[in-house]
Amino acid sequence: MDIYWLFFWVLLAICVALYMYTRQVVNVVEDGNFLSFQKTYMVVYLLAMGGDWFQGPYVYALYQHYGMSSHQIDILFVAGFGSSMIFGTFVGSVLQILFFYLFVSGRRFNCVLYGILYILSCITKHFPHFTILLVGRFLGGIATSILYSAFESWLVCEHHKRGFSGDLLGILFSRATLGNSLTAISAGHIAQTFADRYGYVAPFDLSIVTLVMMIVAIMYTWNENYGDSQSTITMSFGKAAEAIKQDPKVLMLGLVQSLFEGAMYTFVLKWTPALSNSSSDKSIPHGLIFASFMVAVMIGSSVFKLLTKVRTIESFMRFVLLVAAMALAVPVVLPDHTNLVFMAFCVFEMCVGIFWPSLGTMRGSYVPEQVRSTVMNFFRIPLNLIVIVLLIQNLKIKVVFTCCVCFLLLATVCQHILHRFASKLPKKETSEAEDEKPMLEA
C-alpha cells in the first residue's frame, strides 16, 4: 500500500507544479463578464457532476448489500447503459421539442430534467426490489445521456451568444475538467463518511440534496437557449444525420468520441479487477487509487492548456490517443506487474484530462449549433453498445483491455483524418465558422 501513497504524493506534486506553471505561462485576457459567466456555469455544472459522483462508488456495493446476485447486478448495469443508448439518444430531443410547444422551454429545461430523472433514480435505491432498482437504472441511464450533452450544448450556445472567443471556450472546458476532478475527490470522501455512518443508501440521499440545489441554481441563474426546438422530431434527427453526412469532420469527431469513451467506460468498470489480479495480496486501496486517478485527470487539464499554446487541438490529440492506447496495453503485455499497471492507468487518466476539454472545444467548432445535443447523443449509441457487448460477454480481463487498445488505435486513426481535414481549412475560414455557428441553419 505504501507504493500507492508514493504515487499519489508524486502525482499531487506534479499537479500543483503544473498548475502554478500554467498560470504563469498561459496568459488569457479575461474580462469581468466572462468571469461572471464562467462562475454561473461552473456552479451548476459542478453540482450536476457532484450529484453523479456521490453515487458512483456505491452502486455496486448497494446492490450486493440488498442480496442481488452477480447475474442480477450485471443485468442492472446493462439496463443502465442500454437505456442511455436507446432512450437517451432521443428522449432529450423529444422532450425539448414537446415542452417548447407547451411551455416554450429549451436546453435549460433539459438540464433541469436531468436533475429530476436522477433524483427519481436515487429514490429507487431505497427499495431492495430488483424491478424497482431496474426502473432506477433506466432513469439513471437517460439522465446520464442528458448530463453529457445538454450542459455542454447550453454552454457553447451561451458562450457564442455573448461574443466570447473560442480560446476562452477551451480554457473554460479545461477549468471544468479540473473542477470536476476536485469535485470527484471531495464527493468520494464525503460519501465514504456518510456511508460508514448511515449505510450505503446515504450517498444517494446526498445526491438528491445536491441535485435539488442544482435545479434551484439553474432556475435562478441560467438563461434559456434553444437548438432545434422549433423543428419536428423527424426534422431534428434528419438535420443531425445531414450534418454528420455533409461534414466528415463531424463524423470523425463523433467516432473519436464513441471509441475513446467506450474504452474509458470499460476501463472504469475493469480497473479494479485488473489491479486486484496483479496484486499479490488481492487487496488494493480503492479510495486512494481513485484519488490518484482524479489527480492525474487534473494534470491532464493543465497539460491541455500548455499544448494549445504550441499546437492545434486536432494535431496533438493524435498523440494523446496513441499514448492512451499504449497505456491500456500494459495490463495486456505485463498483467502481473502491479506497479507498472497502476502507473499506466494514471497515464491513461491524464489522457482523459486532456481529452475532455479537447473534445468540447472541437465540438464547439465543428458541430452545428441547432443540432448539437442530437448529434452528441447519436454517437452515444456505439459508445454504449461497446460497453454493453463487453459486459455481457464475460470476457477475460486481458481480452477486454485488448479490445480497449484496438478502440483507441482506431480513434487515433479517426483523429488523424480529422486533423487532415482541419489542416485544409484556412484559419480565417475556421474562425468565421466559429463566430457564425449560432446562426447556422442545421
- Among the listed ranges 25-39, 46-60, 87-101, 181-195, which one has the minimum average pLDDT value? 87-101
- Among the listed ranges 29-43, 199-213, 386-400, 416-430, which one has the minimum average pLDDT value? 416-430
Q: State pLDDT tens for residues 35-59.
A: 899 999 999 999 999 999 998 878 8
Question: How many alpha carbons lie under 13 Å from residue 407 in its C-beta half-sphere?
Answer: 27
Residue type, 150: A
Judge contact between 124 and 133, C-beta under 8 A. Answer: yes
**Which three cell numbers mark 66?**
440488498
CATH superfamily entry for domain 11-18+42-439: MFS general substrate transporter like domains (1.20.1250.20)
pLDDT tier at 391, thresholds 50, 70, 90: confident
Residue % of the chain over a pLDDT of 70: 83
Quick one: average pLDDT of 418-422?
Answer: 90
Judge contact between 115 and 216, C-beta under 8 A. Answer: no
pLDDT at position 286 = 74
* Residue linked to cell 487518466: 349
DSSP letter string, 162-222: TT--HHHHHHHHHHHHHHHHHHHHHHHHHHHHHHHHH-TTHHHHHHHHHHHHHHHHHHHHP
Residue 183 pLDDT > 80 = yes
Burial letters for 53-90: b for 16+ Cβ neighbours within 10 Å, e otherwise?
bbbbbbbbebbeebebeeeebebbbbbbbbbbbbbbbb
Q: Where are the domains of the chain?
A: 11-18+42-439
Closest CA to 61 of 267, 202, 205: 202
Judge contact between 226 and 107, C-beta under 8 A. Answer: yes
pLDDT at position 315 = 93
**Which three cell numbers mark 21?**
506553471
Give the span between the Cα atoms of 1 and 97, in whole angstroms.
Answer: 53
pLDDT at position 439 = 34
Closest CA to 124 of 136, 113, 116, 137: 136
Residue % of the chain over a pLDDT of 90: 37
Quick one: average pLDDT of 401-424?
Answer: 93
Residue 340 pLDDT > 70 = yes
Judge contact between 204 and 54, C-beta under 8 A. Answer: yes
Which is higher by pLDDT, 355 or 268? Answer: 355
Which is higher by pLDDT, 94 or 325? Answer: 325
pLDDT at position 367 = 81
User: How many Å from the N-terminal Cα to the C-terminal Cα in the chain?
Assistant: 54
Residue 168 pLDDT > 70 = yes
Q: What is the pTM of this model?
A: 0.81
- Mean pLDDT, the chain, rounded, equals 82
**Which three cell numbers mark 386?**
461497446
Quick one: average pLDDT of 275-288?
Answer: 68
pLDDT tier at 337, thresholds 50, 70, 90: confident
Residue 371 pLDDT > 60 = yes
Residue 405 pLDDT > 60 = yes
Q: What are the backbone angles phi and psi of residue 216, rounded to the nearest 5°?
A: -60, -45
pLDDT at position 429 = 46
Q: State pLDDT tens for residues 93-138.
A: 555 554 444 444 577 888 998 999 999 999 999 999 999 999 999 8
pLDDT at position 428 = 44
